[in-house]
Structure 1
Amino acid sequence: MKKLFITLSFVLIGIFSVNAQTNEPVYEKTDVTAEYQGGMTEMFNFIGKNLKYPKPAARANVSGKVFVKMIIEKDGTISSPEIVKGIGFGCDEEVMRVVSLMPKWNAAQIGGKVVRSSMVLPVMFALEKGKKTK
């Protein structure tokens, strides 16, 4: 039996950028960081339940981190996910699939005002050592 190990953390980059579609800034540094509803533990649970190790990655014994950048909108929805660093073998697509399933987050705030924010979410793929997949 193979085991999937997932590690997650957040990386903040820059100050803000302006999204061409809404003309509203997207902040990377905020007073209150956007948070998955229920916190990190619930996010780990969600990803753990929904993320599947891609068969091509398992067959090739591929492991590593996929970094996905996403915008957390004012209403908490995730938009504009993009892989900023991938590992291939179906892992990048799997992270995009799971991010698209995420429920609403608690939006970020600056000065008590809800703002759009972006973050990079690293998702680790690792097979249990010594286990081969067919």
Structure 2
Amino acid sequence: MKNIVFLIAFVLPFSLFSQDYKDPGNMQVSAKDAHYEKGDVALYNYVYEKIKFSKEAIANKPAGDVMISFDVESDSTLTGFKVVSGIGYGVDEEIVKVLKTLKFVPSIQNGFPIKMNLMYTFPIRL
């Protein structure tokens, strides 16, 4: 019994000190999301100014929200457009057409521009 107690008392401290502490360094991640340079209000104003509704859309007066997802590439271009929810009558496609003309500030992570997905909702009331 003495041997077991002695063995436990002698071996246990070695296991407690078996690993050295390694400082992980600076683990802070500096990140900045992609955004329209002039701000969201300017983005919505630009889209609403440039959108051209079809005759069919004007006649049917659709109302609702158009939700569009797209990627902001590291070179500021927009790609991968997807209409998540739309109202039809060509309104969804027209908003995508207007958005394709814009440039966004890319997302920055650890000082490097990276691709980021954004989603915007455009309320439409004709």
How does the TM-score come out when normalised to structure 2? 0.69
Report whether the alignment pairs 1:46 with 2:35: no
1:74 aligned counterpart, secondary structure:
coil
Which of structure 1's runs of 4+ aligned residues deviate more than 6 A? none
**Which runs of 5 or more residues in structure 1 are unaligned?**
1-29, 128-134
**Which residues in structure 2 correspond to 1:112-123 (within 5 Å)?**
112-123=111-122
Match of 1:55 in 2: 55
Match of 1:130 in 2: none
What is the root-mean-square deviation in Å for CA atoms of aligned residues? 1.7
**Which residues in structure 2 correspond to 1:10-21 (within 5 Å)?**
none
Offset of 1:112 from its aligned partner? 2.8
1:99 counterpart letter in structure 2: L
Aligned residues: 97
Q: Is the 8 A contact 1:53 1:125 kept in 2?
A: no
Offset of 1:31 from its aligned partner? 2.8
Q: Distance in 2 between matches of 1:45 and 1:57?
A: 20
Q: Whose helix proportion is higher, 1 or 2?
A: 2
Offset of 1:108 from its aligned partner? 0.8
- Could you tell me the percent identity over the aligned residues? 25
Match of 2:3 in 1: none
Q: Distance in 2 between matches of 1:55 and 1:123?
A: 20
1:79 counterpart letter in structure 2: T
Offset of 1:67 from its aligned partner? 1.1
Match of 1:92 in 2: 92
Offset of 1:85 from its aligned partner? 1.2
**Which residues in structure 2 correspond to 1:1-134 (within 5 Å)?**
31-102=31-102, 104-127=103-126
**Which runs of 5 or more residues in structure 2 are unaligned?**
1-29
Offset of 1:41 from its aligned partner? 3.1
Q: Distance in 2 between matches of 1:125 and 1:44?
A: 11
Offset of 1:32 from its aligned partner? 1.2
Query: Higher RCO, 1 or 2 (CA under 8 Å, sep at least 6)?
Result: 1
Q: Is the 8 A contact 2:47 2:95 kept in 1?
A: no
How does the TM-score come out when normalised to structure 1? 0.65
